[in-house]
Amino acid sequence: MMVSCCGLITSQKEPVPLKSVEVELEVKDHVATVVSTLNYHNQEDKPLEAVFVFPLPGDAAVCHFSATVGQTEIVAEVKEKQRAREEYDDALSSGQQAFLLEESEQSPDVFSLSVGSLPPGESASIRLEYVTELAVQADEGLRFLLPAVLNPRYQPQGSVGSEGSNVQVTSVPASLVPYTLSFSARVSSPRPVSKVESSSPLDPLQYLNTEQTQATVKLAAGHKFDRDVELLIYYKDAHQPSAVVEAGQASSQPGSLMGDSVVMLSLYPEFPQAVMSSVASSGEFVFLLDRSGSMHGERIKNARDTLLLLLKSLPLGCYFNIYSFGSSFEHIFPKSEDYNQKTMEEALKKVEEMEANLGGTEILEPLKHIYRQPSIPSQPRQLFVFTDGEVGNTKEVINLVKQNSASHRCFSFGIGEGASSALINGLAKEGGGHAQFITGADRMQPKVMQSLRFALQPAMVDVSVKWDLPSGVSVTALSPPIAALFQGQRSLVYAQFTGQSSEASEGCVTVAYSLAGHPSQTQLHFSLKPAEDSGLTVHRLAARTVIRSLEMEVREPGGQEDAGGKKKVVELSVQSGVSSVFTAFIAVNKSNSEAIQGPLLRRTIPTPMMMACMAPMAFCSMRMPVMSCDMAQLPQMSPMIGLAFGQTSCSMDMMDQSDTLESCRPKQPPRDPLLQLVSLQKASGCWLLDPHLAAVLGKTSEEVEKPKPASVKQDVWATILALIWLHGFKMDAQEEWELLAMKAVSWLRAQKASLVTECVEAGNALLGCNVQKDAVGL
């Protein structure tokens, strides 16, 4: 059966009380403050409880939550989670209005908001504020993401929190989301803002001053909830290190994190060209590919093409293996193999056959298997993880990467709208690698090849941060030590300054490190005088950093909780007013003169989902859950992806059945000529002169062989032709083929080929190009 939805109703034909969401973003340099206002109105004749489950950025620190009902504003307090839930239930059972905001116990980027006892005809406005660091993309843009899409999170079988009642979350295709979104942003920085881009249509950027260091931008009207809202902000001279000191809160105890000054040090190194051009010729490269049902269609095709480019770009002398996972996992070789023509061909043959047909998203077991493999001497392990990030046990996965961070680096790729930022960023952060998000019409290949470049280039290692402060001022580090920093990666370091200095108002910080075997250091002098008007953004981000580190230590392997660590998290969360997994925001309207009469109806607010495929699917029954919302069960919620017209809640196992999705699989389009050319390259870096190469170059075999200078070997001639074609016709995709072209040039040099100039001239004439010999690197 199909349910047709229109207007503000759920699949149960009930009105939805959420009418609109307004978001205001303030970006200051590398950090953002976000204020969301959710406007509710009860049009029914009975009192309501409205429950809305929604995503936030994974590293956000929620720091304010309040509700305005009529003329009354009620500001929420942070309390231990169980106590907050009890207060909420008590308030509802005594007929009072109450509001509860809590973080999922499995994934820090999923929150639940309960609006309790909204009387008939009454409106309520909820204000939610959070601060977040902005991640740096490989092209130097700062990325802000407003998650709008909450995809189902697959709950692994038998994992913690998978027992008990199944809390359902309602989800609808974007076109049926019954509330509007308005979004505006203000950007300011010491450096000029060069541009702001977005995946969604924007009104033009407005500069607020002649230096162009302040600007505003708005989302164009009529945003469809079919995608997350992504903003990319670019500054001039982004690589300068900076330190911002923020004054403590006057009402807090001196000596406490909120009472003392806190500094945020931003490190975003730019490496010398000599280092950037050197590429390692060793390493163990392990690729881990998500083949769960939600990766079907374009996603899995893109992933196969990307693996082709990666395999062709690896250096001779390295080791590699490819794992893929769903409900179970597979590997191409029992252990990582030496990279050569035979192993490369064997791997590519298996990659070609890969489909999104392995069921659910069980990422933990393949990771454990990879980490159990002994490391290969003098071949540093580099792990590349490709996933749409729809897992329920995010924290467990990140913890495992952290435990193994000394033995490898982890590069992560979030594929598609709604990929969990907590998972993708967490993998890279704890694995000392780099995170990339691939959404909308983005090509996966350039981003992945940028990350491979990072993996092949030297990183800053043995990083130490030393503070030199006037007498009377002591320092406490709040951030975990930096394992490694590489080109294109930015690190924010937080520290607390205790005490007062009578005379000197300047501090100095020295960052020492080793780069490509050479010890080096950077020094920065900064003012200890706190920045004007910075609120408590830096304090809250610092508190969030400490809370996240403590949370990871609390959950010991085997699921036992450390009570002392949990108490520390609760204390810091309450003191700083920043959410944690063990606390919640609770607000009760005690000014109600009379208790609300009548039974409370529960209304679940639908969340936008991706319309991944138009195949009709079976509907499950939708049961309205009982009053109390158990967030520990959140990852089991399963807003179903891929329903064309109706809305439902179904188990994710059903989504991840390849036979259901078979009907959605598009017919294979002809292969891109660039990928065809790449697929013909040998592991050594050369090409062979054969009819397949001629076809890609748009020539017959005879046309290609005829202009070859007589004494030149066929594979040398073929390789020069391939390089000319890449430089002549595919410069717009240079990031994708640059590494394999460098390998081809190295191979040519090793051949000590003669008549290279004549070959390049003859090749240009044949292909109608004008590529210079030195441009090719010969």
Read off the pLDDT of each residue in 229-254 and give the average, rounded to a whole number. 87
Query: 56 and 180: one domain?
Result: yes
SS3 561: strand
* Helices of type H across 577-684: 652-655, 658-662, 673-680
Burial profile 365-389: b = 16 or more Cβ within 10 angstroms, e = fewer: ebbeebbeeeebeebbbbbbbbbbb
Summarised one tens digit per residue, pLDDT across range 657-669 is: 333 333 344 444 5
pLDDT at 264: 93
Is residue 9 included in any domain, yes or no?
no
pLDDT at 170: 62
Query: 397 and 259: one domain?
Result: no
Asked if 463 and 481 count as a contact pair (C-beta separation under 8 A), the reply is yes
Is residue 125 included in any domain, yes or no?
yes
CA dist 717 → 42, 707, 729 (Å): 75, 10, 18
Query: 219 and 264: one domain?
Result: no
Where does the pLDDT of residue 610 fall: very low under 50, low under 70, confident under 90, or very high at 90 and above? Answer: low
CA distance 152 to 292: 12
Strands 408-415 and 435-438: parallel
Kind plus residue range of the DSSP H or E element containing 31: strand 31-41
Q: What are phi and psi of 64, to 5 degrees?
A: -155, 140
User: What's the burial of 735, exposed, middle or buried (CB within 10 Å: 0-12/13-18/19+)?
Assistant: middle
The last residue of one of the domains, among 529, 546, 561, is 529
On the question of pLDDT at 651 being above 60, the answer is no
% residues pLDDT > 70 (the chain): 84
Q: Total structural domains in the chain?
A: 4
Tokens of 313: 């770009």
Query: 640 and 587: one domain?
Result: yes
Domain span including residue 468: 248-275+460-529
On the question of pLDDT at 506 being above 80, the answer is yes
What size, in residues, is the chain? 778
% residues pLDDT > 90 (the chain): 38
pLDDT at 519: 92
Name the least confident of 83-87, 220-224, 313-317, 752-756: 220-224
On the question of pLDDT at 3 being above 70, the answer is no
Read off the pLDDT of each residue in 68-76 and give the average, rounded to a whole number. 88
Query: 349 and 441: one domain?
Result: yes
CA dist 363 → 100, 350, 465, 567 (Å): 32, 20, 35, 30
Strands 110-118 and 435-438: unpaired
Query: 167 and 76: one domain?
Result: yes
pLDDT at 542: 96
Name the least confident of 211-220, 545-554, 688-697: 545-554
Query: 640 and 689: one domain?
Result: no
CA dist 328 → 156, 336, 364, 381, 557 (Å): 11, 19, 10, 23, 22
Where does the pLDDT of residue 8 fall: very low under 50, low under 70, confident under 90, or very high at 90 and above? Answer: very low
Q: For position 514, which CATH number holds?
A: 2.60.40.1230
CA distance 737 to 457: 16
Displacement of CA 717 from its chain's centroid (Å)? 43
Is residue 499 included in any domain, yes or no?
yes
The last residue of one of the domains, among 397, 422, 456, is 456
Map tokens 């606390």 to a residue.
583
Nearest to 684 by CA among 715, 706, 651: 715
Nearest to 435 by CA among 445, 446, 423: 423
Query: 294 and 433: one domain?
Result: yes
Asked if 8 and 18 count as a contact pair (C-beta separation under 8 A), the reply is no
Read off the pLDDT of each residue in 709-738 and give the average, rounded to a whole number. 91
Q: Position 520: which residue type?
A: S
Where does the pLDDT of residue 323 fall: very low under 50, low under 70, confident under 90, or very high at 90 and above? Answer: very high
Displacement of CA 295 from its chain's centroid (Å)? 17
Strands 506-515 and 31-41: unpaired
pLDDT at 116: 86
Cα torsion at 737, 743, 744, 750 (round to 10°)?
170
Is residue 286 included in any domain, yes or no?
yes
Secondary-structure percent of the chain, ordered helix, strand, coil, rounded to 5: 25, 30, 45
Q: Which residue has the higher pLDDT, 156 or 5?
A: 156
Is residue 553 included in any domain, yes or no?
no
Question: Model-level pTM greater than 0.85?
Answer: no
Q: Which residue has the higher pLDDT, 20 or 631?
A: 20
CA dist 567 → 68, 563, 572 (Å): 31, 6, 9
Is residue 1 included in any domain, yes or no?
no
Query: 86 and 200: one domain?
Result: yes
CA distance 197 to 746: 38
Is residue 173 included in any domain, yes or no?
yes
Where does the pLDDT of residue 624 fall: very low under 50, low under 70, confident under 90, or very high at 90 and above? Answer: very low
Q: Which residue has the higher pLDDT, 354 or 559?
A: 354
CA diameter of the chain: 99
Q: For position 399, which CATH number holds?
A: 3.40.50.410
Name the least confident of 64-73, 451-460, 568-577: 451-460
Where does the pLDDT of residue 733 fall: very low under 50, low under 70, confident under 90, or very high at 90 and above? Answer: confident
Sign of the CA dihedral running 169, 161, 360, 374: positive
Summarised one tens digit per residue, pLDDT across range 22-40 is: 999 999 888 999 999 999 8
First to last CA, the chain: 65
Name the least confident of 66-70, 303-307, 359-363: 359-363
Where does the pLDDT of residue 559 fall: very low under 50, low under 70, confident under 90, or very high at 90 and above? Answer: low
Is residue 328 included in any domain, yes or no?
yes
pLDDT at 504: 66
Query: 449 and 516: one domain?
Result: no
Query: 360 and 487: one domain?
Result: no
On the question of pLDDT at 154 being above 70, the answer is no
Summarised one tens digit per residue, pLDDT across range 90-140 is: 998 888 889 999 988 877 888 888 888 888 888 889 999 999 999 887 778
Q: Which residue has the higher pLDDT, 295 or 178?
A: 295
pLDDT at 281: 77
On the question of pLDDT at 393 being above 70, the answer is yes
Where does the pLDDT of residue 229 fall: very low under 50, low under 70, confident under 90, or very high at 90 and above? Answer: confident
CA distance 653 to 649: 12
SS3 142: strand
For residue 673, what is the DSSP state? H
Query: 639 and 657: one domain?
Result: yes
Instruction: Tell me the β-bridge partners of 55.
Output: 110
